[in-house]
Amino acid sequence: MAVARKIPKIMEEPTAFCAGCGHGILNRLIAEVLEEKGQEKNHILILGVGCNCNMNFTWGGDKLQCAHGRATSVARGAKTGRPDTLIISYQGDGDAYVIGLSDTINTAYVNTNVTTFAVNNTNYAMTGGQMSWTTIPGQHTTTSASGRDCESTGNPIKVPEIIAQNFDVAYVARGSLHSAKEINKTKKYVRNAIEAQLNGEGFSLVEVLAQCPTNWKVSTVDANEWLKDKVVPIYPLGEFKKREGRDDK
């Protein structure tokens, strides 16, 4: 018998994302974990600029919209002022890894006790699908019309690996949303990241590979295959930094 899970209260408004967008799935995972942990009224979502701006109208919890790229820095300020509140930055790849790369690295470097969810959909989606540093080799975007040429633009950036290998942070993982199995794994990563902050363990980062059918110019169904077959091979999935003393992954 199929069991339908109740929609978390934080998500009672329908999302404003395109059909088949990965953002909506991640919203749901975060909302479910916040509810499981009793944090529906004790969190602030720090929104970067990108398609996640849609959450200003739909996310039922506390939130704060900040300038493009500055979300982890704003999160650090919020945590300083509200140490007992769960502080989560929710950003796109362009926001967290390009314009905001220095903020993200600095937050990892000082190991602030905040959590970042970075949605990697391999493009600047909100502004019409321009090339990002995460765009995969050969990918057609509005600013790489012939396909991304990595010889002249560099290779896809892997920020979780950079952070896990270089900084003393609490938790780093990368999940994907292309199948039910991977969505369940990603939820585990989301839970681990939030638990790490609740336990005061330090910075936690989860990158989430997400569908953007609109800018990839594929159907909502084909977007799952596109993600699995083209994006996942470039960005390995898993936990790059496990929480200390825990092997429950």
Ligand X SMILES: Cc1ncc(C[n+]2csc(CCOP(=O)(O)OP(=O)(O)O)c2C)c(N)n1
Determine contact, residues 51/58, Cβ cutoff 8 Å.
no
Binding-site ranges for ligand X (CB under 6 A): 49-52, 68, 92-95, 99, 119, 121, 123-127, 132
Q: Which residue among 32, 93, 195, 201 contacts Mg ion (CB under 5 A)?
A: 93
Tracing tokens 């088949």 back to the chain, one arrives at 20
The secondary structure of 123-167 as a DSSP string is SBTTTT-B--TTPPTT--BTTBTT---HHHH-PPP-HHHHHHHHS
Of 45, 74, 125, 190, which lies in the binding site for ligand SF4, with binding defined by CB under 6 A? 125
**Token pair of 38 as six digits:** 């009793």
207 belongs to the binding site for Mg ion (CB under 5 A): no
Rounded CA-CA distance 59/11 in Å is 6
Asked if 25 is part of the footprint of ligand SF4 (rule: CB under 6 A), the reply reads no
Q: How far is the CB of 208 from ligand X (least distance, A)?
A: 11
Closest of 222, 201, 197 to residue 212, by C-alpha: 222
Out of 215, 224, 226, 241, the residue judged to bind ligand SF4 by CB under 6 A = 215
213 scored as a contact of ligand SF4 (CB under 6 A): yes
Structure token digits, residue 21: 């967008």
Residue 95 in the binding site for Mg ion (CB under 5 A): no
Return the residues of window 55-94 that contact ligand SF4 according to CB under 6 A: none
Q: How far is the CB of 28 from ligand SF4 (least distance, A)?
A: 14
Beta-bridge mates of residue 44: 62, 87
Residues that bind ligand SF4 (CB under 6 A): 17-18, 21, 23, 51, 121, 125-126, 212-215
